[in-house]
């Protein structure tokens, strides 16, 4: 079974909305990752470490539409260019897929995601895509969380975790680190 790994930047109050503040990121405090916290390379090393394990990327429709045109030509994201991509969307038309950014397939349902997880291959990393991550977590499909938690309270915005009334889900801490700029790295395996 392939792992589905959510990776992202999160405020202390659980908001994952608009960390970079780029196009398609509309939060009133957009850019909170780059504007408000001192940059320390070691605090962001997780992003580079993930590349060794990433065999594919997964996005919800909105994150795909925001990231694809920018990441395709970005030197910072060059290692992602040829990786397979999956977009989970009931409504994204095939002709909306971005050319020149590796093989991309649209998954139309959670059942399609389940089938993908059962296929051969390695870990699939989900970037952005808070709504998708909540739906997948509620369906018991997230295997692991890679979080960089920032020392900021945003007060509103898209949260990573659902407020659905569901059974308790235990996590097991795989790795953690704290950095002088206040960022905390948390890597959790989902138990069960």
What's the domain range around 30?
Answer: 4-190
% of residues, the chain, pLDDT over 90: 70
- pLDDT tens string 49-72: 999 999 999 999 999 998 999 999
Answering whether pTM is above 0.85, one says yes
pLDDT at 37: 84
pLDDT at 148: 96
CATH number of 75's domain: 3.40.430.10
Using 50 as the pLDDT threshold, list the residues of the chain that sit under it: none
pLDDT at 15: 84
DSSP state of 77: G
What span, in angstroms and rounded, lies between the C-alpha atoms of 34 and 19?
8
- pLDDT tens string 86-117: 999 999 999 999 999 999 999 999 999 999 99
pLDDT at 110: 96
SS3 annotation, 91-158:
CCCHHHCCCCCCCEEEECCHHHHHHHHHCCCCEEEEECCHHHHHHHHHCCCCCEEEEEEECCCCCCCC
The domain tally of the chain equals 1
């Amino acid at each position: 079974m392939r792992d589905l790994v959510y990776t992202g930047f999160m405020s202390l109050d659980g908001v994952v909305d608009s960390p970079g503040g780029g196009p398609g990121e509309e939060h009133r405090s957009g850019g909170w990752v780059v504007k408000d916290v001192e940059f320390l390379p070691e605090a962001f090393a997780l992003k580079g470490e993930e590349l060794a394990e990433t065999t594919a990327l997964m996005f919800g429709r909105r994150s795909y539409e925001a990231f694809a045109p920018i990441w395709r030509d970005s030197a910072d994201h060059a290692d992602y260019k040829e990786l397979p991509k999956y977009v989970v969307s009931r409504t994204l038309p095939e002709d909306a897929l971005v050319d020149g950014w590796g093989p991309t397939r649209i998954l139309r349902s959670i059942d399609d995601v389940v089938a993908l997880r059962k296929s051969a291959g390695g870990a699939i990393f989900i970037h952005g895509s808070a709504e998708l991550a909540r739906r997948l977590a509620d369906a018991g499909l997230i295997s692991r969380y890679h979080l960089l938690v920032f020392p900021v309270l945003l007060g509103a915005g898209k949260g990573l975790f659902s407020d659905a009334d569901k059974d308790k889900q235990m996590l097991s801490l795989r790795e953690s680190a704290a950095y002088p700029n206040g960022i905390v790295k948390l890597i959790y395996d989902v138990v069960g």
